[in-house]
């Protein structure tokens, strides 16, 4: 990458993130300035780099996820198995990271450079903290989309290796989760902007298929209800296992959910 196209210490990127936090209630994020101290592991904070490299940090984060989902599972007569908790935690982190990388791209054509040492997860709550440092810009749309995919891959790859054992998932399934979460993050932001159709088109342009290691396409489609209203949907490449916590409620994009069931829930 041409160094002249890497912008560091940029107030515009911080403004992007402030807007993202305002727009996205599902994103529990604290923004850190360059001079702020790192969140302390003693208080339950672990960077993505630590989660990828330190088994004790990963174990603490997994225990936190198990504790968070246990009450919901108990309401439905189930208990979270270890690989389910691991899959849910990885899904939460990857979706959040995809939103943090794709959000400024969708809002302002900026692709953040997020070092795994600059994004932290709070094990007890699942909240995140980010120190924005730099972004990349490119003149061409295709180049920028490729840069976005590369940024996502570079950030999450070490974590996928660390989570492979706890989630009991293979390489293709893990990258399928990343594909799903990148499509989902852009789609979610579009709904928050009240620009769903534009976001669906943007996600499809980023994930046309054949962009390894991301194994699939966004592959959105439109369902038309009996009332004539149209709804965007897609089917995930893999299951996020939410149905194992609430057996009566699979996700709208779950491979287990038919289009007829989706229409009933819109």
Residues 34 and 130: their CA atoms lie apart, in Å, by: 10
Of the candidates 152, 147, 211, 154, the one whose C-alpha atom is nearest the C-alpha of residue 2 is: 147
Split at pLDDT 50, 70, 90, the class of 80 is confident
Note the pLDDT of residue 9. 59
What are the tens digits of pLDDT across the range 2-43? 333 545 557 899 999 999 999 999 999 999 998 899 999 999
pLDDT value at residue 154: 97
* Confidence bin at 245 (pLDDT 50/70/90): confident
138, with CB counted inside 10 A (0-12, 13-18, 19+), is middle
Q: Which residues contact 265 (CB under 8 A, 6 or more apart)?
A: 252
> What residues form DSSP beta bridges with 8?
134
Which of 165-169, 219-223, 235-239 is the least confident region? 235-239
Exposed, middle or buried: residue 48 (CB in 10 Å: 0-12, 13-18, 19+)?
buried
Q: Considering only CA atoms, which of 88, 65, 94, 114 is closest in space to residue 181? A: 94
Mean pLDDT for the stretch of residues 157-181: 97
Minimal CA–CA distance to 14: which of 174, 139, 132, 119? 132
**Which comes out higher in pLDDT, residue 257 or 32?**
32
The H-or-E segment that residue 265 falls in is: helix 259-265
pLDDT (tens digit per residue) in 181-220 = 999 999 999 999 999 999 999 999 999 999 999 999 999 9
pLDDT tens digits, one per residue of 95-146: 999 999 999 999 999 999 999 999 999 999 999 999 999 999 998 999 999 9
Residue 7 pLDDT? 56
In this prediction, residue 183 carries a pLDDT of 98
Mean pLDDT of 222-245: 87
What are the domain boundaries of the chain?
A: 3-212
pLDDT computed for residue 157 by the predictor: 98
**Nearest Cα residue to 99 out of 11, 197, 26:** 26
DSSP type of residue 208: B
**CB count, 10 Å around CB of 115?**
14
pLDDT confidence of residue 4: 34
């Amino acid at each position: 990458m041409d160094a002249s196209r890497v912008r560091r210490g940029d107030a515009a990127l911080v403004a992007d993130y402030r807007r993202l936090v305002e727009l996205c209630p599902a994103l529990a994020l604290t923004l850190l300035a360059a001079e702020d101290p790192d969140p302390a592991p003693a208080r339950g904070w672990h960077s993505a780099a630590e989660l990828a490299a330190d088994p004790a940090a990963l174990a603490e984060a997994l225990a936190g996820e198990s504790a968070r989902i246990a009450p919901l599972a108990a309401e439905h007569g189930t208990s979270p198995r270890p690989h389910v908790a691991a899959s849910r935690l990885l899904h939460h982190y990857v979706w959040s990271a995809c939103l943090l990388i794709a959000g400024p791209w969708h809002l302002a054509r900026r692709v953040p450079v997020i070092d795994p040492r600059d994004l932290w997860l709070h094990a007890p709550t699942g909240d995140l903290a980010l120190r924005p440092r730099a972004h990349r810009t490119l003149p061409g749309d295709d180049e920028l989309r490729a840069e976005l995919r590369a940024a996502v891959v570079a950030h999450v790859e070490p974590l996928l290796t660390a989570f492979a054992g706890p989630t009991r998932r293979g390489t293709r399934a893990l990258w399928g989760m990343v594909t799903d979460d990148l499509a989902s993050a852009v789609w979610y932001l579009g709904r928050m902007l009240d620009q769903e159709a534009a976001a669906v088109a943007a996600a499809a342009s980023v994930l046309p298929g054949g962009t390894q290691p991301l194994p699939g396409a966004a592959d959105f489609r439109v369902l038309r209800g009996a009332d004539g209203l149209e709804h965007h949907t897609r089917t995930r490449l893999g299951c996020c296992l939410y149905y194992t916590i609430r057996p009566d409620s699979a996700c709208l994009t779950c491979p287990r959910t038919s289009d007829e069931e989706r229409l009933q829930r819109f």
